[in-house]
Amino acid sequence: MELDIFVERLQNKLIINDQKLEDIDCKRKELTKSSQEVQEKISALCAEVQARVGAAGEALKGKTVVEFSKLEKELSSTREEVRGGSLVLCSELEKITELVGRGDEDKFDVDECWGRVKEIISRCQLDESTRKMPSFYHSKTLAKVKTSDLGYLSMAEFLPDQFQLVLTSPVSSLMVASDMNKAICTVTTSQQFTEMIQANIKFSIKNKACKETVPYCKEECKLSEDKKSFQICFLVQRPGVYMLTVLLYDQHVNDSPLVLRVASKEEMDNEEENTTPEDEEQSTTQSVTPGVARQPEPEKDCLVLVPPTITKTTTTSPTTQSMSSQPPPSAVPLRRPVPL
């Protein structure tokens, strides 16, 4: 290579690098501005929520004033009633004392006096000791405010409500637990499982009846060729309530969590002996329940679709696993028809 050509190539590369540096600096400025805008939105939302909480608190305090005022009026009315009755009784007692003092008690008409005080004496007074005083019990709604209660950061191209979790396996094949029985679910979308989506989507499988890890079938957990669906396959070896949770940015996708109730062979045999065809049809219809408890606490340890490898790690929760883009030597490749 000639020296002048070599120098020209160096100069051209320097010009290109200078342009890239300018572009990077511009993007960094945009990034800083965007970060400030997002933080301002979050601050505005927090201020709005605080204002709503404050308004709700003032409304509740106003209701408290009204209710306590009602009780105070009732007590004031009762007090005046008791006081008026006492004045009447005192007046009659003074008359009796005066007549007795003069020795004219025979002239006192008891029946006439009883007619005047009968209503007062017979009146049933309210037992204030049994009155229930209004008391305040705080709502559990705000007892533990999570980050997801305010919102979430979208880290990829699409949103959680653009994905849906569905049961692909026939329900009838999952009624009874067995060592080789598989449940297949699919996360579908009209968009695509891009690399950024795969890096942020997670799923976990749990059996509420036991603490053992629910085994999933790595070979059958795969992305479709058009990248519009991801198949999740796990074994239903033990009876119990299986819960499949799929989260994107720690938010549930549509119809997540999906709940699948699986019986033991003995339970199914006993049920078949005591059920009619109509009951069996109803049981089959209700054995899978999508979208139960839409916003529980997001799982701390889930399977994460990160191309091109999956890593299974041991955590404090025995029924959850995780994936990482930098796997240890035991990493298992994520098999899919089209490499990402």
If phi > 0 it is left, if psi is from -120 to 50 it is alpha, else beta; for residue 250 that is left
Locus of tokens 């201020």: 47
Burial string for 66-100 (b: 16+ CB within 10 Å, else e) reads eeeeeeeeeeeeeeeeeeebeeeeeebeeeeeeee
How much is the pLDDT for 150?
84
Q: How far is CA 43 from each of CA 29, 147, 148, 232, 313, rounded to the nearest angstrom?
A: 21, 13, 15, 38, 36
Burial string for 174-191 (b: 16+ CB within 10 Å, else e) reads bbbbeeebbbbbbbbbee
197 with 156: CB under 8 angstroms? yes
Strand partners, 185: 167, 232
Tokens of 52: 């709503």
Rounded CA-CA distance 249/315 in Å is: 20
Rounded CA-CA distance 233/219 in Å is: 9
Q: How far is CA 112 from each of CA 81, 95, 108, rounded to the nearest angstrom?
A: 22, 13, 9
Furthest-apart CA atoms within the chain: distance in Å? 149
Helices (H), the chain: 3-102, 110-122, 147-150, 195-200, 265-274, 277-286
The backbone torsions φ and ψ at residue 8, rounded to the nearest 5 degrees and listed phi first, read: -60, -40
Tokens of 335: 């098999």
Question: Is the Cα dihedral 212, 214, 218, 223 positive or negative?
Answer: negative
340 residues of the chain, pLDDT tens digit each: 788 888 989 999 999 999 999 999 999 999 999 999 999 999 999 999 899 999 999 999 999 999 999 989 988 988 898 898 899 889 888 888 888 888 887 888 888 888 888 888 887 665 555 567 888 888 888 878 888 788 888 989 999 999 999 999 888 777 777 778 888 999 999 999 999 999 999 999 999 888 888 888 888 899 999 999 999 999 888 888 999 999 999 999 999 999 988 887 776 666 666 666 565 555 444 444 554 433 444 444 455 554 433 333 333 333 333 333 333 333 333 333 333 3
How much is the pLDDT for 126?
57
Quote the pTM value: 0.58
Rounded CA-CA distance 16/10 in Å is: 10
How much is the pLDDT for 213?
87
Q: Which residues contact 301 (CB under 8 A, 6 or more apart)?
A: 204, 313, 315, 316, 317, 320, 321, 322
Query: Is the preceding omega at residue 307 within 30 degrees of 0, hence cis?
Result: no
Angle subtended at Cα 119 by Cα 113 and Cα 122, rounded to the nearest 5 degrees:
110
